[in-house]
Structure 1
């Protein structure tokens, strides 16, 4: 399965201002989003499952891979394309045993050592961040900036996606690092015209 990591949407329902999650995701995909991760930090398991199911109907319709944040059980329950793990989630090798070799597994990394470990353990891609200060992660350590991003990209062979404070203005500079794509939350979902915001990124 050849994955296009270029415009990676991470969901956050707090930005939707009354729009349904499926409507927002559909607009984003029409605008050019290539990959969708459902992220639900505060939902119950049942609610997370129901949200993931709604989003999967949309991603299936457009043949866009669906990634579930953290939760292997939800990823399995909705038959998502894969899962995205943080450094404190289940170990990657264990996740691989559970999900099998055909599912995508991504890992969040913040330095070269974490990225190399993820690669050695068989991650399909890494999410590198936080690149810039961002409103969605309040507890953030110092952002690694484009310099930190570039250093990680140069030290691994697997695909990577940059995340954290990325918007239309800084995307060009971020992509110069050689990363395969940008992960975006508020710069798409926080806009009235979600499709238009995604199209701006594609340009």
Structure 2
């Protein structure tokens, strides 16, 4: 059996004013270490802005084997050819998102700090659940604070992957991986890292691998 992994799930900055410049930064970051997915998250942006971002960034990600997930918008995820969609509790219901994107695209669901919401999403056919926020974050309003034990319990009892999100930085990556996170969703922790995003990706990968090695056998 292959050893468990914890992988990086990047989320774009909340604004992308220069797509070409960000595309270069993204390419260098993705070349610096393992990244499972890129979520394009442009809250309240016009459809044309979201479409332009997908058109610019998806080839960069896809060329490196990185899945492209669109935040909130199953309709655009389907029409633009994204690999999946991520929905929150106040967005399109899981069943509706699945109907729109079809059976072959991923659907992830925000479940805050609730094991109950996570189990409902798993039973409803979600491909992954996201728990958080685990730490204070300025990227988005986080109404709940999740505890590490939630990841451990999920890993022991459930089959679909769990994503940890919310204020995650290189120094906190190891404990989340050790607790049982399958993926760490990170935005500012990569894009504002002091040594640059590429160095952040490399550092996250090293810390996550160390954390997985600390999981109970």
1:114 to 98, 117, 121: 117
Aligned residues: 199
Cα shift at 1:158: 0.6
Counterpart of 2:66 in structure 1 is: 64
3-state SS of paired residue (1:169) = helix
The structure with higher relative contact order (CA 8 Å, sep 6+) is 1
Specify every segment of 5 or more residues in structure 1 that has no aligned partner in the other structure, as ranges: none
C-alpha RMSD over aligned residues = 2.1
Q: 2:186 aligns with which of 175, 184, 187?
A: 184
Residues 113 and 143 of structure 1: CA distance in aligned 2, closer, same or farther (over 3 Å)? same
* TM-score, normalization by structure 2: 0.84
Please give the alpha-carbon distance, in whole angstroms, between the structure 2 residues aligned to 1:157 and 1:35: 19
Using the alignment, how far apart are the partners of 1:55 and 1:144 within structure 2?
31
Structure 1: distance between partners of 2:164 and 2:72: 18
Q: Which runs of 5+ in 2 are unaligned?
A: 207-217
How far is the alpha carbon of 1:13 from its aligned partner? Answer: 4.6
Asked if structure 1 preserves the Cα contact closer than 8 Å seen for 2:6 and 2:181, the reply is no
- TM-score normalised to the size of structure 1? 0.89
* Deviation of the 1:14 alpha carbon: 4.4
Which residue of structure 2 aligns with residue 136 of structure 1? 139
Match of residue 10 from structure 2:
9
Name the CA distance, whole Å, in 2 between partners of 1:152 and 1:48. 33
SS at match of 2:179: coil
Matched position secondary structure for 2:202: helix
Q: Which of 135, 148, 151 in structure 2 is aligned with 1:149? A: 151
TM alignment of 1:45-84, pairs within 5 A: 45-84=47-86
